[in-house]
Structure 1
Amino acid sequence: MNTATARYAGQLRTEATHVASGNVIQTDAPTDNHGRGEAFSPTDLVSTALGSCMMTVMGIVAARHELSLVDSTFAVVKHMSSEAPRRIAQIDITFSLSAALSANDRALLERTALTCPVALSLHPDIRQNVVFLYA
């Protein structure tokens, strides 16, 4: 079974549908690559998927250890290469998690995040800079 289907909507936009849920994601080319930047670009989705995957696997481990990650957040900065070919060169992710987490819990969650499936699937030339803040 397909995971997703997609169609080209014209003007450098796509609409992808998640088959199981029917949820739709639209993409637009970024303004620095002939687009209008009115939606996530495909490379924005890749970068955001890294943070989402890290948060999801941390959530799985947190539930197993009866820890709460509710209201935890992350921010993503994507850096494109300045030389050809155009590609993601670096992804910076900053997580904001509860200061109430113990040192052992922090280490467990950080280790879990850094070994998420997306992190392990990205090309090793893409630098992944991940920061964990506890407040």
Structure 2
Amino acid sequence: MSTATARYAGHLRTEATHVASGNTILTDAPVDNHGRGEAFSPTDLVSAALGSCMMTIMGIVAERHGLDLTGASWDVTKHMLAEPRRIGQIDVTFRLPATLTEKEQTILENAARTCPVALSLNPEIRQEVRFIYE
């Protein structure tokens, strides 16, 4: 069974539907590449997927250790290269509870770096990951 189905909506926009849930995601080409920039670009989705995957894996590990990460947040910044046009670097900054011990922080940070998206990205894409405990 397919993971997703998608269609081209015209004007550099796509619509993908997650088969299992029916949820949809729109993409637009970015303004700097002939698009309207009214939705995630495909490379924005890749970057957002990295942060979401890392947080999901940290959540799995946190639950295993009885830790509550509810309210944790992160920012993702994508850096594009021009020739060829591609993602050159993704910065992810996590904000996690200050109540975590040093051992718990180490466990979660190691978990984040082993998420499937991080391990699937081309090694030429730099992944700069920061953890702030507040």
Per the normalisation by structure 2, the TM-score is: 0.99
Q: Does 1:60 align with 2:63?
A: no
The amino acid across from 2:47 in the alignment is S
Q: Could you say which residue in structure 2 is the equivalent of 1:112? A: 111
Deviation at 1:32, TM superposition (A): 0.4
Which runs of at least 4 in structure 1 moved beyond 6 Å after TM superposition? none
Report the equivalent of 2:88: 89
Q: Report the residue type matching 1:125 in the other structure.
A: E
Give, in angstroms, the shift of residue 96 of structure 1.
Answer: 0.1
Corresponding residue SS for 2:51: helix
In structure 2, the partner of 1:25 is 25
% same residue: 69
CA distance in 2, matches of 1:63, 1:112: 12
Cα drift, residue 6 of structure 1: 0.2
Paired positions, count: 134
- State the distance in 1 between where 2:68 and 2:74 align: 15
Please report the TM-score for the alignment, with normalisation by the length of structure 1.
0.99
Superimposed CA distance per residue, residues 92-121 of structure 1 (whole angstroms, 9 cap, x where no aligned partner): 000000000000000000000011000000
- Separation in 1, partners of 2:121, 2:40: 19
Cα drift, residue 87 of structure 1: 0.2
Structure 2: segments with no counterpart, 5+ residues: none
Distance 2:11 2:115 in 1: 34
Partners of 1:68 and 1:103 in 2: how far apart? 15
- AA matched with 1:2: S
- Measure, in 2, the Cα distance between the counterparts of 1:38 and 1:99: 36
SS of 1:58's equivalent in the other structure is helix
2:48 maps to 48
2:127 — aligned with what?
A: 128
